[in-house]
Amino acid sequence: MTRVAVCACPDYDVAHVTSAVERAVGLCGGMERFVRPGQSVLLKPNMLSAAPLEHRVTTDPALVRAVGKLVLKAGGRIIIGDSPAIDKVSRISRVTGMKEVADELGADLIEFCRPILAKTPEGSIYQALELDEAALTADVVINLPKLKTHCMMLLTLGVKNLFGMVVGPRKSQWHMHVGADRVMFADLLLDIYRTVKPALTILDGVWGMQGRGPNNGTPCHLGLLAASRDPLAMDLALAPLLGAHPASFPLYNAAVRRGLVRSNGADTQMVGDDPKGFIPEDFQLPVLESLMPAPRFMSGAISKHLTSRPVQDPGLCRDCGKCAAVCPPGCLRFVAPHRAVIDHMTCIRCYCCQEVCPADAIHFKTGALVGIVERLRAIMPQ
Ligand code: SF4
Ligand code: SF4
């Protein structure tokens, strides 16, 4: 039986976060259970972009500080690291205050940039994965995700945060590989999670993000921290409470299909505070666009308009060029001023451009074919 602890934490006041972290970790057995004196401990927050803290894009440094203090008390040596999809760790840590926390803890603050090949455990889809050396050589990994929605995977919680163990440019290669296939992406995430095996996951849900996450959603106050030895158990326990129907959560479908969890959640025990007391009834999940391709017999121009596709609003564009830089197949060109020109025939519908856009100027437009199929599904008997 895997424990998932939920603890109230009203804000990022140092005393409140410290006491909530101590309680949550205590409910999981205490830090001494995970960290022994002299061990190297990698703390992996979500450091997606250099957005101001109040946008709630990144794990709050207050959580990293409180967890780090417990690690030091247990005798561990701390490394803080990530491979951000947008921007550099050095800039993100200056903007968010993570740098001061790293200095206070005497921790190395690193950008993952040294991929090494790791053999995956038995039962994996991929035989080996290239992940950062720090993730694979640290004695202990503590995963510190942010509670956010995700336009492609519905939610990003504990398991999705581990995609940051993939070094920068390799992320694009994986997006090219899995394309618009959410189940395939969920399988990849599960293989990373099983290979990295974080000892402990502590989720920052004091303030989370709802709507069009993970970078352009709306801040949402929940006032909770969650902790577990198993991020998959945590994700699957919290997802329904956030309004995600299991069938619509790709990670759940992949995990059940692979026999990693029981479909009725009977292998998880919730402890601590009642999570229902924290989650707003109207928590907004993103609408997962159906990304079905058009049938092969349709010509390019027809299929372009029938399938869901990214579109840009030039009126919102800030001319940063990040969308073009991130596009895995290079099918998006930035043309100054204010225009992103997208070749929808080669677009793989990976959501990367939408995710990195700092102006929320790119969104997905539902294709006509998708709309027809979804209307038919709605009226057909189940
Ligand atoms: S245009 Fe956007 S959704 Fe399409 S492949 Fe490029 S980054 Fe991905
Ligand atoms: S669409 Fe967004 S990401 Fe692309 S150039 Fe404009 S502001 Fe930057």
Pairing state between β 77-82 and 309-312: unpaired
Q: Does 240 fall in a domain?
A: yes
Q: Whose CA is nearest to atom 4 of ligand 1?
A: 347
Q: Same domain for 189 and 85?
A: yes
Q: Same domain for 224 and 338?
A: no
How close is the Cα of 326 to the center of ligand 1, in Å?
8
Sequence-separated contacts (24+) of 280-284 with Cβ below 8 Å: 280/220, 280/222, 283/210, 283/220, 283/242, 283/243, 284/149, 284/210, 284/211, 284/218, 284/220
User: pLDDT tens string for the chain (382 positions)?
Assistant: 899 999 999 999 999 999 999 999 999 999 999 999 999 999 999 999 999 999 999 999 999 999 999 999 999 999 999 999 888 999 999 999 999 999 999 999 999 999 999 999 999 999 999 999 999 999 999 999 999 999 999 999 999 999 999 998 789 889 888 888 899 999 999 999 999 999 999 999 999 999 999 999 999 999 999 999 999 999 999 999 999 998 899 999 999 999 998 877 778 999 999 998 899 999 999 988 765 555 555 555 556 666 788 999 999 999 999 999 999 999 999 999 999 999 988 898 898 999 999 999 999 887 766 666 666 656 665 4
Q: Does 377 fall in a domain?
A: no
Tally of structural domains, the chain: 2
How close is the Cα of 327 to the center of ligand 1, in Å?
5
Q: Same domain for 339 and 211?
A: no
Q: Does 238 fall in a domain?
A: yes
Q: Does 381 fall in a domain?
A: no
What's the CATH code of the domain at 236?
Answer: 3.40.50.11440
* Residues of the domain holding 353: 309-365
The answer to whether the CB of 350 is under 6 A from ligand 1 is yes
Q: Same domain for 245 and 334?
A: no
Q: Does 291 fall in a domain?
A: no
Q: Whose CA is nearest to atom 8 of ligand 1?
A: 350
Q: Which residue has the tokens 């102006």?
A: 359
Q: Same domain for 265 and 335?
A: no
How close is the Cα of 335 to the center of ligand 1, in Å?
16
Q: Same domain for 250 and 330?
A: no
DSSP 237-301: HHHHHTT--GGG-HHHHHHHHTTSS-TT-TTEEEEES-GGGTS-TT--PPP----PPPPTTS-HH
Tell me which of 49, 86, 316, 322 to substitute to probe ligand 2's pocket, judged by most ligand atoms within 8 Å of the beta carbon: 322
Closest atom of ligand 1 to CA, residue 349: 3
Conformational region of residue 2, where left means phi above 0, alpha means psi within -120 to 50, and beta covers everything else: beta
**Residue 357 CB neighbours (<10 A):** 25
Longest dimension (CA), the chain: 64
The answer to whether the CB of 332 is under 6 A from ligand 1 is yes
Q: What's the confidence (pLDDT) of residue 61?
A: 98
What's the CATH code of the domain at 326?
Answer: 3.30.70.20
Q: Does 373 fall in a domain?
A: no
Q: Same domain for 130 and 177?
A: yes
Q: What's the confidence (pLDDT) of residue 329?
A: 93
Q: Same domain for 327 and 194?
A: no
- 21: closest CA among 238, 205, 279, 230? 205
Nearest listed ligand to the Cα of residue 352? 1
Q: What's the confidence (pLDDT) of residue 287?
A: 83
Print burial letters for 281-293: b (CB count within 10 Å at least 16), e (below 16).
eebbbbebbbbbe
Sequence-separated contacts (24+) of 65-68 with Cβ below 8 Å: 65/14, 65/17, 65/101, 65/104, 65/105, 66/14, 66/17, 66/18, 66/20, 66/21, 66/22, 67/21, 67/25, 67/43, 67/142, 67/144, 67/202, 68/43, 68/101, 68/105, 68/107
How close is the Cα of 104 to the center of ligand 2, in Å?
36
- Per DSSP, what are the bridge partners of residue 150? 154
The answer to whether the CB of 178 is under 6 A from ligand 1 is no
Q: Same domain for 190 and 320?
A: no
How close is the Cα of 271 to the center of ligand 2, in Å?
43
Q: Same domain for 320 and 258?
A: no
Q: Does 303 fall in a domain?
A: no
The answer to whether 231 and 145 are in contact (CB under 8 A) is: yes
Q: Same domain for 325 and 239?
A: no
Q: Does 53 fall in a domain?
A: yes
Q: Same domain for 192 and 62?
A: yes
Pairing state between β 200-210 and 140-144: parallel
What are the C-alpha distances in Å from 159 to residues 164, 209, 273, 380? Answer: 10, 17, 22, 35
